[in-house]
Amino acid sequence: MFVDYTKIYIKAGDGGHGAVSFHREKYVAAGGPDGGDGGKGGDVYFCACRNLNTLADFRYHKKFIAENGENGKSKKMTGRGGKDLIVKVPFGTLIRDAASGALIKDICTEEPVLIAKGGKGGFGNTRFSTSTRQISRFSKLGITGEEFEVILELKVIADVGLLGFPNAGKSTLLSSVSGARPKIADYPFTTITPSLGVVRVDDEESFVMADIPGIIEGASDGAGLGHRFLRHIERCRLLLHLIDLSEGAETIASRIEAINGELLKFSKLLSEKKQIIVGTKKEVCDEEMLESAKKELEKLGTPYFLISAVTGEGLKELISGTWEAIKDIPVPEEFEPTYQPVDNSDEQKYTVRRVNEKYVVEGSWIERIMSTTDTDDYESLMNLQKLLKREGVFKALEKAGVKENDTVDLCGFEFEYVY
C-alpha cells in the first residue's frame, strides 16, 4: 500500500537522575558524598533509506521513543546514556511540526539528522559538596527529553515528472522507456499511486522518471486523484506534459491550459517548471490529425515530441531531448526549514501573575529548575529556595503584591508564602 502522509509521535529519552550516595569503605571514616550523575537520554534521529519508497511502515507504528538514561550510581559512577533511536524514512520525506505545520527538516540524505534531543542527566550529590556543605544529601533529577507529534510527508524525488489527464498514456510511456511496470488499462484513474522508473540514455547516463496519477480540472481543490499527488512533482526538474492526440487537435490548447492552471493554483513553483509537451498515441492518428496537432503545438511555442509508446516511434528522440533539457536544469535544493524551536534561553527567565487567589510563576527557567528538583527532599527544596532568592523571584512576588500565607504556584508545585 502506498502511504505518503502520516502523523507520528516521537520522544527523546529522559536523562537519568543523579544519585545520593556516601562513600563506604573499611578504615575510611567520613568518606563523603560519592553519588554519580545520571546518564543522558537517547536522541531521535531521522535518515533516508534507499530501500523505502512509501510511508506504509508508519501506518500502524505511531510511537517512536528513545531509551532513557540510567540513574547515577555510587562511587561517582555516571549512569549509562540511553541509546539513540534512528528512524528510517524514504528519500524526500518532509518532517513537519504537527502543531504549527512548520517544516522541521527535509530528509534527503542517508546521514542521520537530529530531530529530538535527549534530556541531560541530573547531577549526583557529589556535585553539591562544598567547603561549607560537606555532606550534601540531595541530587538533581534528570531533564525530560523533547517530545512532540510530527507529520511525515513524502515528496517523491525524480528528475522528470509525467503530467497529464487520465489515460493520456503516462503509464504506457514509463513502462516503454524503463523497467517500471505500472498498472495499465483503458479506463480513467488506472494509476492510483506514483511509480518510478530509471530511464537509460546510454551506458553511463540515466535519469529517474515519475508517473504521477492523472490530474483533472479542479485537482488543486480536491477533485479526482491528482490533488493527492501534486506534491510529488514539486521536486522534478522537468515536466513532460502528455496530450492524447486521438482526442483532436482543437482541444490541445484547452487541455494544456487546464492542467497548467491546476499547477498554478497548487504552487507557483510548479507552474514555473520547464515543460516539454508530448503528443501520445500517434499510432491511432492519420496524417491529417498529426498535421493539425503540429500546427496547434507550434502556436504554443513549447518544445514538443510526437510519439507512440506502443510501437516505440519517437521514443529515442524523446529520451535524448529530455536528457539534453534536464542537463541544464539544476538539481532542486532541499526545502528550507521554517520551524522555530521554543527558545529555552534565560533572557526572560520567569513572569509573575496573579490568577484568582494565587500567584503563578512561569517561564522557561522556572520549568527547567522545577523539572530537576525533588520536591519530596528537604535539602533539594532548600537548594531551590536559595536559587529563587538569588534570581529575585521572591522580590518579584512581593512587587506583584503577594502577602503572608498567599499561595504560590511554581509549575504545579504550590506552597504558602512566608516572609
Amino acid at 56: A
Does one domain contain both 24 and 114?
Answer: yes
Using 50, 70 and 90 to split pLDDT, how confident is the model at 69? very high
pLDDT, tens only, 125-146: 888 887 777 777 778 888 889 9
The closest alpha carbon to 353, from 366, 362, 343, belongs to 362
DSSP of 58-111, one letter per residue?
A: GTT--EEEPPPPPPPBTTTBPPPPPPPEEEEE-TTEEEEETTT--EEEEE-SSS
Using 50, 70 and 90 to split pLDDT, how confident is the model at 188? very low
**pLDDT score recorded for residue 220:** 45
Residue finishing a domain among 124, 154, 184: 154
Which one is predicted more confidently, 140 or 322?
322
- Rounded CA gap, 184 and 178, in Å? 14
104 within some domain: yes
Residue finishing a domain among 135, 154, 173: 154
Domain extent, residue 5, equals 1-154
Using 50, 70 and 90 to split pLDDT, how confident is the model at 222? very low
Residue 397 backbone dihedrals phi, psi, to 5 degrees: -65, -45
344 within some domain: no
- Rounded CA gap, 315 and 9, in Å? 47
Which one is predicted more confidently, 384 or 42?
42
| Cut 0.85: pTM above it | no
Does one domain contain both 220 and 277?
Answer: yes
> Does the structure show a pLDDT above 90 at 332?
no
**pLDDT score recorded for residue 185:** 47
What residues form DSSP beta bridges with 390? none
Does one domain contain both 41 and 139?
Answer: yes
Does one domain contain both 20 and 139?
Answer: yes
Does one domain contain both 45 and 124?
Answer: yes
Residue finishing a domain among 139, 154, 169: 154
pLDDT, tens only, 254-296: 888 888 888 888 778 778 889 999 999 888 888 888 999 999 8
Does one domain contain both 365 and 278?
Answer: no
Does one domain contain both 149 and 264?
Answer: no
Counted domains in the chain: 3
Q: Count of CB atoms within 10 A of residue 39's CB?
A: 28
334 within some domain: no
> Does the structure show a pLDDT above 60 at 249?
yes
134 within some domain: yes
Does one domain contain both 139 and 182?
Answer: no
Does one domain contain both 186 and 305?
Answer: yes
Does one domain contain both 125 and 225?
Answer: no
> Does the structure show a pLDDT above 80 at 352?
yes
Does one domain contain both 131 and 168?
Answer: no
Does one domain contain both 122 and 193?
Answer: no
Percent of the chain scoring above 90 in pLDDT: 28
Using 50, 70 and 90 to split pLDDT, how confident is the model at 219? very low
**pLDDT score recorded for residue 227:** 52
